[in-house]
Structure 1
């Protein structure tokens, strides 16, 4: 028979434990217990609690103090005793550049909270837009400095369509550019078109629709076309990556929404941008983990894959790299998404292919072969079917039962 009450002595170093477990048992790694006003666990079996134990930055237990406190020494931290704690939220589709855009003029339809917590009021029609732009124009001291805005969603406007001539009323001297809420369109004035080299006849490009006078209307469609003009209208050459101040602003936005992990779903990830993101996200008070995806634009799939594999090696606890974002088509509200029959309700022509179908197929195959995650923007149903067909073909060559490829907006 075994005497279960007999005392057994042993040496901790002889037991097969991790060094952290040994440190804890030896008292070298202290368990910390946090007291809160209330802890929302989101676990239906234990929905609320008041105490939470943490070891080496990881949550061990949640419950009442008598249940979770260890027999060995521990530290009781009451710094959150007047606060409600809850698990951090995950934002599955966001863009770092919103933080940088707050240095520009907000032109959205809906009221929106700024990173500092104050509200920016929305505009309801073109008349209000022009009024807001004129006021901003008067505050800019340099008459040639660009006036940049963002968040525009004219699908809600019922007074008139927006073109370059309306923006020319605001200023015929400084370049003006207003990015749409979808990020798939940009409206600019005549000065902006001239600086970009597009204020001329003879242009035949789906990203530059023409007005009645044969000149571009000022509506810029598609990511690659937009990239040709952003630096002329104050949005910067690499507006998708933003800057250090913008990334810190984005962190503030996350904190206000309770988000602790956010996806950055389209970033060109230049060397300069990656260095900036690594630096800012490593700051002690940066409040979120960023999962940034390399946007496949201006690069072939064969060139992209090795770059993404190298980027993955630079990942840290707060900045995850090594995945790909593909944009197949545009946006439905901007009439640039690819739709199947019967198409758009207003008779608008079908949208744009941002990425050639054969490149999507090739990218999927190479990504599967190299275990790289791919997110694909497919706004229209035709784009969704294309992406599914491409993935089916790629999986036939490189079968994966847990690839986790994702279609956004479909």
Structure 2
């Protein structure tokens, strides 16, 4: 028997309880065909020496924003800015070297800012050029005065859009802050992006993913809403693949408002979808359509997530849903009628109740979905909701890195009791539910080893414990970022474990996460990343 490759001299952590370790891996036609003694007598076209490195299943980020992330790699970076003056200085420096009309900045975290940005000061810093600052949460933006003028927001009266806020000062003058659906006003002017620009952003993001050991990514919202970049966005993914820019396997969620009414027989249920009835699951193991993405509420960072009780720091405010509940229900059920799986962004516990009710009703009306239905984020999840998720087969996709980046601010907004139920992990596993590792990148850093570390530590940026009963073991955290994410994305049993028959998606690490201090897990070097047995980052010595 002859196969494509055998990797020797490795410390293989398979993620398979039936066979947790090995030292050799055999690969043929992009899949694993054997381990250790199963390869005795087998000949390979290539023999690769791991030189004692650690092999794990490739990491799978179940919720990221690849185009957005790729764009941030070329935009003004405001991460770490702690004062308005520092923001103004960075804008001045950008203007001095960037000939483009608009100054577009990313990574801004208002929770870490001592003070507030002033639209007039932004105008002065930019020399009168329009400024668009994207908040790290993805749920708000700040504009300069010229930026507001360019998008049609003047100082006169104007109603807030449904599910959004144009912030104003005590005189009624817009401050430049746009929340939630108000960001669509910017996009109506500046979007869609050219397909070539989207492709290039995907290329930058995918190259970074490969360097970090990520072999699969789900893009959580394309083609519509305030998260999309073009109505033709999936075409950009296809073109990026054809250009060889996608180094990782990719699943893309189409946003709910990008689906259209579908005609059909009188006996068919009402359905919305893509023309010709294309739905979740279309594609292959390299590029696939995932669930439909639905925003039910806002964010914890902006205090717009829908809670059953008021925020601890803001009495009288318990957030809000992003639209009329009955209208949202009708659209979600119509998507389910078109055979779309459901991925519902729900951060507050009131939004999670709403989301679970929708998933339950969709399953009763239309049966099981073609891919698992999911709750994205889960900022506050009650024990009864965790039990209900497990009973319905709904995956939870939290972002543990939020805790390390924004935990102090989130804890202040939630209060001690709700913080214990925030972004749960261990309780999901105890209930028998599906837990997926994810980043929501670029909202938070997305290196998967740092996500594993955050799952294990659950400490805020100041070092305070954050729901310590929800900590995972290292094995549980690794499984969430590999097999757990595979299960949540409909690929359980086909990737996420290093075993015969599985896709040969492998990350090669310089050290074992079990054998370094917990605080160093995120610093382990990624030696190589293999997708389908082919190196997309780094190399292994051939002999």
- Please tell me the TM-score bracket, short chain as reference: 0.7 to 0.9
Distance 1:239 1:355, change over 3 A: farther
Q: Equivalents in 1 of 2:83, 2:38: separation in Å?
A: 58
Quote the Cα distance in structure 1 between the aligned partners of 2:277 and 2:71: 27
**Deviation sequence 1:244-297 (CA, Å, 0-9, x none):** 111011112211221111110011175642222112224456320111000123
Q: Equivalents in 1 of 2:194, 2:184: separation in Å?
A: 8
Query: 1:179 matched to which residue of 2?
Result: 134
- 2:182 aligned to 207, 219, 225, which one? 225
Change (3 A) 1:203 1:298: farther
* Maintained 8 Å contact 2:59/2:214: yes
Question: Judging changes above 3 Å, is the alpha-carbon distance between structure 1 residues 36 and 291 closer, same or farther for their aligned structure 2 residues?
Answer: farther
Deviation at 1:83, TM superposition (A): 5.2
SS at match of 1:294: strand
Aligned to 1:296: 256
The answer on 1:244 being equivalent to 2:204 is: no
Counterpart residue number, 1:371 = 339
CA contact (8 A) 2:281 2:371 kept: no
Distance in structure 1 (CA, Å) of the matches to 2:137 and 2:112: 13
Distance 2:316 2:125 in 1: 28
| 1:73-112 aligned within 5 A | 73-78=43-48, 80=50, 84-96=54-66, 97-108=68-79
Q: Considering only CA atoms, is the larger Rg found in Structure 1 or Structure 2?
A: 1
**Deviation string for 1:338-366 (max 9, x for gaps)?**
22222352247443432432233223433
Residue 13 of structure 1: aligned partner: none
**Equivalent pair of 1:35/1:76 in contact (CA under 8 Å):** no
Per the alignment, in what secondary structure is the counterpart of residue 260 of structure 1? strand
CA distance in 1, matches of 2:191, 2:81: 24
Counterpart CA distance in 1 for 2:194 and 2:253 is 15
- Residue 281 of structure 1 corresponds to which residue in structure 2? 241
Alignment deviations for residues 14-68 of structure 1 (CA, whole Å, 9 cap, x no partner): xxxxxxxxxxxxx6x74532335433323355444332112222101122xxx23
Contact persistence 1:301–1:359 (CA under 8 A): no
Tell me, yes or no, if the aligned pair for 2:307 and 2:351 is still in contact at 8 Å. yes
Cα RMSD of the aligned pairs, angstroms, is 3.1
| Structure 1, gaps ≥5 residues long | 1-26, 109-121
From 121, 124, 138, the counterpart of 2:96: 138
Residues in 2 aligned to 1:56 and 1:48: alpha-carbon distance in whole angstroms: 23
**For each residue in 1:346-391, what CA deviation from the matched residue of structure 2 results, as whole angstroms up to 9, or x when unmatched?**
2474434324322332234334444321100012222122222333
Q: Distance in 2 between matches of 1:284 and 1:394?
A: 38
Residue among 102, 109, 112 paired with 1:156:
112
User: Equivalent residue of 1:391, what SS?
Assistant: helix
Q: Per-residue deviation at 1:228?
A: 1.9
Q: Compared with structure 1, are the counterparts of its residues 359 and 258 closer, same or farther at alpha carbon in structure 2 (3 Å cutoff)? A: farther
Q: In structure 2, which of residues 142, 152, 165 is the aligned counterpart of residue 207 of structure 1?
A: 165
1:39 is matched with which residue? Answer: 12
CA contact (8 A) 2:280 2:339 kept: no
Q: Is the 8 A contact 2:202 2:246 kept in 1?
A: no
Partners of 2:126 and 2:46 lie apart in 1 by 62
1:287-314 superposed Cα distances (whole Å, 9 cap, x missing partner): 2011100012365676742449426586
Q: How much does 1:91 deviate? A: 0.5
1:339 corresponds in structure 2 to 307
The worse-fitting range, judged by mean Cα deviation, of 290-299 and 359-368 is 359-368
Aligned residue among 6, 23, 42 for 1:50 = 23
Gap change, CA 1:73 and 1:315, over 3 Å in 2 = same
Structure possessing the higher relative contact order (Cα contacts under 8 Å, 6 or more residues apart): 2
Provide the aligned length of Structure 1 versus Structure 2: 361
Q: 1: CA distance between counterparts of 2:85 and 2:215?
A: 39
State which drifts further: 180-189 or 31-40: 31-40
Q: In 1, distance between residues paired with 2:355 and 2:48? A: 52
The Cα offsets for residues 108-133 of structure 1, whole Å up to 9 and x where unpaired, read as 2xxxxxxxxxxxxx222222222212
Deviation at 1:79, TM superposition (A): 6.1
- Asked whether 1:126 is paired with 2:99, we answer no
- Residues in 1 aligned to 2:194 and 2:128: alpha-carbon distance in whole angstroms: 23
Tell me which residue corresponds to 2:437. none
Query: Does the Cα contact within 8 Å between 1:308 and 1:322 map onto a contact in 2?
Result: no
Q: What's the CA shift for 1:183?
A: 0.7
Is the CA contact (8 Å cut-off) linking 1:184 and 1:221 kept in structure 2? yes
Shift of 1:337: 1.7
Separation (CA, whole Å) in 1 of partners of 2:258 and 2:86:
37
Distance in 2 (CA, whole Å) between partners of 1:85 and 1:141 is 46
The reply on whether 1:317 has 2:285 as its aligned counterpart is yes
